[in-house]
Amino acid sequence: MHFAQYYLDCLSQASYLIGDKTTGRAVLVDPRRDIDDYLHDAEAAGLRIELVIETHIHADFLSGHLELARATGATIAFGEAAETGFPIRRLRDGERLSLGADDGQGVTLTVLATPGHTLESICLVLREHPDDEVPFGVLTGDTLFVGDVGRPDLLSAAGHTPQDMAARLHRSLHTKLLTLPDATRVFPAHGAGSACGRSLSSETSSTIGAQRRFNYALQPMPVDDFIHLVTAGQPATPGYFAHDAALNRDGHPLLEPGPPPALTLDEALAARDQQGAVLLDCRPLAAYTRAHLTGSLHTSLDTRFAEYAGSVVTPGTPIVLLTDPGTEQEARLRLARIGYDHVLGHLPDPAAVLDRTPALSSRSRRVRHEELCLGEPQLAAIAETDEARTGGAEPADPIPTDSIPTDSIPTDSQPTDFMPADIQLIDVRNPAEYEAGALPGARNLPLAGLPHRIAELDPSRPVVLYCRSGNRSVIAAALLEAHGFAEVCDVIGGYEAVGAGTQ
């Protein structure tokens, strides 16, 4: 048997190439859209990809089933309940797929219908030989993760309540997956960081026995308790999820390779002003906060770039990339993996452009957690001191806290007890993070849902944003500034820094 897992860290997404070395027949499960690695490895191993299997209609990335079908002639297969806009093979519960020379020989996959995350969800039990008592493993898609189970509330299950889907998930787990031997390896479709669950492990494989023992959602409990457990505290759903689910269900244009064209500053600004394009700054956070084009959005390539971009950029919006030299192709590809193909071009070397056009640049307003106790006059004084220190020309890091008058900081209370009443303190973390501990007086508006809730904020009042470590809050601040909020800042180091500073 040939078995390979392909794990994409930036989307926490796993796909699998499985083949029978005797016959050269192979299947690919849950592929991403850029398929060159699969094709290269299959050719090197002497394998022919005959079938592309999707464990469900994905919402968090644009799958590569259409690209693979074109490149290899493979048939696309889904669970029997799937409804798609293109021809598929429907896989029935209990169906056996043999990669051997004859049915009942060679590497075998057995289909398990496991609705719950979505209606059409399936898992695939993999045996190197059809009569192996203990399977080599089970590909669990988004039904079972290492440390978690699939969330039952995504839009691809429209028309069914999260509670109904959670009940289905419970049945799938206990009547299908947990009947497998404990030694059966578990190979999920996602790992830590994915918004498809809330407690996913960084481990990319496990066993049924380990999950039976340690997975919080598989512990003995009444069904109603399970339903409550898996429907509460799930991460906010990024805005692109519904878009990707529709494209994966109905069909999408095939991936077109190649770097985006280079644009001049005038062309980039014209695209923004005349075509409604978003200027998306992809540089590292430190570079963006020091200086950026006023009104640009931000998400760095060294973070969960595509997911965060899909959280703040509406699907279908034209995009101009602001990237460090040599990174524009990576940025375009990572956007394409979530179906954001409308990239008009990129602005080469934005740092040099900003140096030449200081009137078009802004710097991010950031505060340390010690400064949260200051009232608006002190915050304004800090900003004025910063402006005086830089002369308005060279962006600077936040003012050191030792420059703040100590007699303005109360010493007998927590800093957030003294936040001015008119400041809007916003926690952009996910609900479970917020419920585990938050700054007093903070409202929870998760980053993924912020574009649809901006109207809940008053643009005439100052906004202070924080997240766990200071990354999502910068992305959120850029979004608010692009929507005309004049007084926005975020907390350096986020909630972790505040907690460390108060110990």
pLDDT interval class at 432 (50, 70, 90): confident
Q: Above pLDDT 90, what percent of the chain? A: 79
**383 pLDDT tier (thresholds 50, 70, 90):** very low
C-alpha–C-alpha distance, residues 423 and 308, integer Å: 26
Q: Tell me how far apart the alpha carbons of residues 456 and 451 are, in angstroms, rounded to a whole number.
A: 10
Residue 399: predicted pLDDT: 31
Residues 6+ positions from 247 with CB-CB distance below 8 Å: 62, 339
What would the mean pLDDT of 322-348 be, rounded to a whole number? 97
pTM for the whole structure? 0.87
Write the secondary structure of 298-343 as one string of H (helix), E (strand) and C (coil): ECCCCCCHHHHHHHHCCCCCCEEEEECCCCHHHHHHHHHCCCCCCE
Kindly list the catalytic residues.
467
- Cα 201 → chain centroid: 15
What stretch of H or E contains 42? helix 36-44
Report the pLDDT value the prediction gives residue 407, as an integer from 0 to 100: 31
Q: Which pLDDT belongs to residue 409?
A: 28
In this prediction, residue 403 has a pLDDT band, given cuts at 50, 70 and 90, of: very low
Q: How confident is the model at residue 381 (pLDDT cuts 50, 70, 90)?
A: very low
The yes-or-no verdict on residue 258 having pLDDT over 90 is no
Tell me the two tokens of residue 154: 């995504």
Task: Give mean pLDDT, residues 442-460.
Answer: 95
Computed on alpha carbons and rounded to an integer, the radius of gyration of the chain in Å comes to 25
Question: How far apart are alpha carbons 166 and 264 in whole angstroms?
Answer: 51
C-alpha to C-alpha distance for 388 and 390, rounded to whole angstroms: 6
Mean pLDDT throughout 280-296? Answer: 96
In this predicted structure, the answer to whether residue 281 has a pLDDT above a threshold of 50 is: yes
> Which pLDDT band, with edges at 50, 70 and 90, does 160 fall under?
confident
